[in-house]
Amino acid sequence: MCLAVPMELMSIQGELGIVELGGARTEVRLTLLEDPQVGDFVIVHAGFAIQKLDREQAEKDLALMAEVFGDGTPGGR
C-alpha cells in the first residue's frame, strides 16, 4: 500500500523543493506542479510533489491521518 502525505513547501531551488511535516524535512521534485510557491501544501508521493492542497484541506487530511495512525510510535495516539 502506498500513502501520499500532505507537506508544506518550505523552499524552492529550480525543480527541487524542501517540504516539511512535523519537523521532518525532505527534498522533492516539483516538476509535476504548476507554479509551486513557498508555503503551499502539497501531496508528496515517491519523492514527487504531485498535487497542491489548500491549507484547510491539508489540515483536515493531517488530522485524519493522526486519528488513524496516531503519533507514529508503537501504541501511540
Residue ranges of domains in the chain, CATH in brackets: 5-69 (2.30.30.140)
| 19-42 residue pLDDT tens | 999 899 999 999 999 999 999 999
The confidence score (pLDDT) of residue 75 equals: 55
The confidence score (pLDDT) of residue 42 equals: 97
Confidence of residue 72 (pLDDT cuts 50, 70, 90): low
Give the contacts of 25 (CB within 8 A, at least 6 positions apart).
10, 18, 19
Q: Enumerate the H helices of the chain as residue ranges.
A: 55-69
**Cβ neighbours, 10 Å, residue 77:** 8
1, pLDDT greater than 60? no
